[in-house]
Structure 1
């Protein structure tokens, strides 16, 4: 099936072809016709399956001739994180350019000053927002949603797990009773079902099976090392393997800053990302790390970057500290070995973490080759 067969406007179809989107993914193929028809939709599909364009394209098509007035936005997209807010708004802006009158789109989130966001709110058609900042803007009368036509909840499961239920309920009470609701999630959890019941929806349900992640291209190695020598071993591995692009995971903000500082002090250019850094700084550091022309070799982060962030052709991932759960381990190592390109994952395992490493291998049904070098264990 083609995008043209999905009955999208010719302008959007041409823009898709121009940006090398040859055909719809399964979630797009099933969701777009129902959304164009004005139906409520609940789409369940894994991260990376094309969920964003599954609602962005028909949303733009439906609103292309309905400009906003007096801070009354036409569509509200709620997301759990700043990074996702930026990504979604960029997708909307990109494809909105195809329209004769592009929709004005804005992303709002916490961690930055609210004043510029308030000042730029006039005539916004599509607002992409994290729940907390959205409530702040509503309470300051900076935005009105009483006449909003389309509500999108993107990664609804994550919003609920991150404790945004109260903020979401506050938003729901301010929305009109008649509104098209589009809910997209990676999992069909009981909490997601509760939202549907709370909003008294009878949506078209699209539930695509989630295939097991292909980790066959990933080489996994573990080094047994005492905690005091982790930093030295890390730097030696980076230099010995001539790593020019390596994503390093730590378990805490403090450890991220510590490892990042040590790398830079020892002549290995590195940047850090964690939840306490300003959004602009986080995005800038990520962009520098992705840029092949940049001299940034390492990006040190928490599990903030273990999901939903694609870094093309990333060759190395290092677990400076093991994640809390086997599931998080899968998400971390899945940052490499993509697009049929091989990748290497290295875990630095202290004696105290040995049992946890065995648990991870057992629960994930994966074998990690462990290196036991005497010089690093005494």
Structure 2
């Protein structure tokens, strides 16, 4: 369905057309008209399916021509679990707000950086994208007030609850006005999400787009049997032999992320690492370089399973297997997005084989392990 038929403002339709967006994704087709009518929405759809735009566009439309906000009394609050996602969502709001005849002031706030510039920037903000902890710090400092919020968005609600934000979120909910629009978006409908849905949402429109497990057909999954000490040479061999660009590599720890990135760089492959122990400035800059193609390989922990938004990411490598099938799905879901194909490569040690069988059983697939011992890892041009 075309965006033109969904009820968005002409300014936003022009902005979409300028970026060659004409056809809406399924989540957008259903969510945008409902949000424009101020209905509560529960949207369940995989990461990369267009969820962010499905609420950004109608929220901006609804804010046009509304009353002027009192200073530091925001109208729309978007809660997200990570700093990376906060910046990603903010960028979408900012991009489309700038196309409006009367731009809406948006701001992202999160931890990892000084709070003082964020406090000063709160003047006349209409849309605030925030992580829960930093939001409460701003509330405690009287830098922002939540009593006049018209729309609340919980983005990646399943991840937020899994990361242990429940107490902080309950405190935030207690500060909000009872009469408001509630929009809850999640990749999966877990028990926690369903419980929050029952408390927060009033006669919501429920939109459930097919789950990630059923939409991985665009991802070519490959698995190598490899000894632990041969993972590094195998990774370098695959990247060089196949001339891979824009490769996202997942490892089990921050220490290993640094070590793998160092080895890649030492062997002539431009790479860096990003993880929770890096400063926010370094994380933002490394992600920017990777997204723009300046950086060939980004090595990370599960920090980026949801916090990265790249229109076309061709390669994901599970250098270390994740702890659960669900995490595996989220990882490889970084590729094969927006109807573009992708490749997911997994390294499986002898100790990993049983765990990898569990992952395959959950996903209802069966992969033949390629034996790395049959590959001459020194044969790299």
The answer to whether TM tops 0.5 is yes
Note if contact 1:35-1:58 (Cα within 8 Å) is conserved in structure 2. Answer: yes
TM-score computed with the length of structure 2 as normaliser: 0.89
| 1:249-287 Cα shifts (integer Å, max 9, x gaps) | 101111111111222233322111112222332221122
Note if contact 1:8-1:61 (Cα within 8 Å) is conserved in structure 2. Answer: yes
Note if contact 1:218-1:336 (Cα within 8 Å) is conserved in structure 2. Answer: no
Aligned equivalent of 1:330: 329
Separation of aligned partners in 1, 2:336 and 2:158: 26
Q: CA 1:100/1:189 → structure 2, altered by over 3 Å: closer, same or farther?
A: same
Separation of aligned partners in 1, 2:169 and 2:138: 14
Separation of aligned partners in 1, 2:166 and 2:375: 51
Aligned equivalent of 1:28: 28
Equivalences for residues 163-242 of structure 1 within 5 A: 163-199=164-200, 201-210=202-211, 212-215=214-217, 217-225=219-227, 227-242=228-243
Q: CA 1:376/1:360 → structure 2, altered by over 3 Å: closer, same or farther?
A: farther
Does residue 1:56 correspond to 2:56, yes or no?
yes
How far is 1:36 from its partner?
1.9
| 1:2-43 Cα shifts (integer Å, max 9, x gaps) | 333322222222222222221332222222222222222222
Aligned residue pairs, count: 374
How far is 1:343 from its partner?
4.4
Note if contact 1:118-1:137 (Cα within 8 Å) is conserved in structure 2. Answer: yes
Note if contact 1:12-1:57 (Cα within 8 Å) is conserved in structure 2. Answer: yes
Separation of aligned partners in 1, 2:207 and 2:341: 32
| 1:192-218 Cα shifts (integer Å, max 9, x gaps) | 232233336222222333361233551
Does residue 1:360 correspond to 2:359, yes or no?
yes
Equivalences for residues 362-377 of structure 1 within 5 A: 362-364=361-363, 365-373=365-373
How far is 1:184 from its partner?
1.6
Equivalences for residues 113-124 of structure 1 within 5 A: 113-124=114-125
Unaligned runs of 5+ in 2: none
Note if contact 1:248-1:318 (Cα within 8 Å) is conserved in structure 2. Answer: yes
Unaligned runs of 5+ in 1: none
How far is 1:100 from its partner?
1.8
Aligned equivalent of 1:39: 39
Equivalences for residues 293-332 of structure 1 within 5 A: 294=294, 296-307=295-306, 309-332=308-331
Q: For 2:249, what is the secondary structure of its paired residue?
A: strand
Separation of aligned partners in 1, 2:78 and 2:337: 29
Q: Please report the RMSD computed on the Cα atoms of aligned residues, expressed in angstroms.
A: 2.5
Separation of aligned partners in 2, 1:368 and 1:91: 40
How far is 1:313 from its partner?
4.5
Q: CA 1:360/1:180 → structure 2, altered by over 3 Å: closer, same or farther?
A: closer
Aligned equivalent of 1:249: 250
Note if contact 1:223-1:346 (Cα within 8 Å) is conserved in structure 2. Answer: no
Separation of aligned partners in 2, 1:119 and 1:279: 19
Separation of aligned partners in 1, 2:333 and 2:209: 20
Aligned equivalent of 2:93: 92
How far is 1:145 from its partner?
0.9
Note if contact 1:251-1:323 (Cα within 8 Å) is conserved in structure 2. Answer: yes
Q: For 1:218, what is the secondary structure of its paired residue?
A: strand
How far is 1:341 from its partner?
5.7
Equivalences for residues 129-140 of structure 1 within 5 A: 129-140=130-141
Separation of aligned partners in 2, 1:366 and 1:268: 31
How far is 1:300 from its partner?
0.6
Q: CA 1:78/1:233 → structure 2, altered by over 3 Å: closer, same or farther?
A: same
Separation of aligned partners in 1, 2:282 and 2:140: 27
Q: For 2:34, what is the secondary structure of its paired residue?
A: helix
Separation of aligned partners in 1, 2:13 and 2:203: 30
Note if contact 1:248-1:317 (Cα within 8 Å) is conserved in structure 2. Answer: yes
How far is 1:339 from its partner?
5.9
Note if contact 2:218-2:340 (Cα within 8 Å) is conserved in structure 1. Answer: no
Q: For 2:68, what is the secondary structure of its paired residue?
A: coil
